[in-house]
Structure 1
């Protein structure tokens, strides 16, 4: 079967609509979420070819196929990340400058974001795991944790020149 378009997302369905669905899941990692053309296999062994016309990243819960009460949906795999919780704005500036020079893609979460290992923070910086970044954070004494986290948006490198 060839999938050419995403039919919606589970989050857009009512609780009643979701309750009756039988789901087959396609587990994808960050880089796979950005591919328009690929071959995937569901957790039930169903093989699908993705040939998406629209250029967009797949998200957790995206519906790839639906037939009656059966649906094939995307399930994002957790990513190995460093979650950084600087204590001050000065510390955040130093960390962002040092790690920015390494051109590591980053994402930021506000004070309401919960990470069990880092309670009581003013905001978080998330990086894909990198051993040199981890060593830097250890050396500088910045509070951080290495965790497996399901990312809402996959990491991507920003285009830049020097």
Structure 2
């Protein structure tokens, strides 16, 4: 099977519509969500080719295939993250500036800033005395680098 278009995201479906189907999952690392062409395997062993025609990243919950009885969706594997919880606007500005200088992609959930684990960033957070914790957490989308050069 080759998937060229995402049908819907499971979060946008009615609960009854999901529950009446057998669900298979494709487990992906967050870094693979940016790949428009890839060969994946469901948790039931079914191989699926993904070749998206539209220019978009995959997102947790994207439905690759669905009929009256079955549904195949994307599930994201947990990442090793630093969850940064600044206590003030000053701390947020300081860490955002420091991470921006390193061109590290970040995501935000509520009042937390999420970055992929890096021991140098952890050392920086300790040095700046900024509150953080290290944890495995699923993200909904890929950490995407924003193109930029200093030249």
Q: Normalising to structure 2: TM-score of the pair?
A: 0.93
Q: Deviations over 1:5-46 (max 9, x none)?
A: 111121122111111110110001112111111000000000
Matched residues in 2 for 1:81 and 1:89: separation? 22
Q: Structure 1 residue 154 and structure 2 residue 142: aligned?
A: yes
Counterparts of residues 74-153 of structure 1 (less than 5 Å): 74-110=74-110, 123-153=111-141
Consecutive aligned runs of 4 or more in structure 1 exceeding 2 Å deviation? none
Q: Deviations over 1:40-80 (max 9, x none)?
A: 00000000111111111111111111232111111111111
Number of matched residues?
150
1:119 corresponding residue in structure 2: none
Q: Secondary structure at the match of 1:127?
A: strand
For the aligned residue pairs, the C-alpha RMSD in angstroms reads 1.2
Matched residues in 2 for 1:86 and 1:152: separation? 22
Residues 26 and 72 in structure 2, CA contact (< 8 A), matched pair in contact too? yes
Matched residues in 2 for 1:107 and 1:67: separation? 34
Q: Secondary structure at the match of 2:91?
A: helix
Aligned-pair distance for 1:101?
A: 1.2
Q: Normalising to structure 1: TM-score of the pair?
A: 0.87
- Structure 1: unaligned runs, 5 residues or longer: 111-122
